[in-house]
Structure 1
Amino acid sequence: MEMEHINENTIRVLIGNEDLADRGITFLDLLGNHREIESFFYSILEEVDVEDEFKSSEAVTFQVLPKKDGLELFISKNMSQEEFNKAADALELESGDFDQLMQQQILSSTKSYGGKDDVERVRVFALDSFENLIELANYHFLDDAWCDLYQFNGQYYLLVFFDPEYFGDFAVTDIISEVLEYTHSTTVSPEVLDEYGKMLMRQDAIETTRNYFK
Structure 2
Amino acid sequence: MVVERLGNNKVRIFISYEDLEERGIDRDEIWQNGRKVQELFWDMMERAYVEVGFEVMGPIAVEAFTMPTEGVVVIVTQVPSIPEEVEKDKEESDTDEHIVMVDPSTAFTFVFDDFENVLAAAKVVHASFDLTTSLYHYRDRYFLFIDEETMDQTETDALWAILHEYGTLSNVTKAVLDEYGKLIVQDTALETLTQYFTN
* TM value normalised by structure 1: 0.42
User: Relative contact order (alpha carbons < 8 A, sep ≥ 6): 1 or 2 greater?
Assistant: 2
TM-score relative to the length of structure 2:
0.45
Structure showing greater radius of gyration is 1
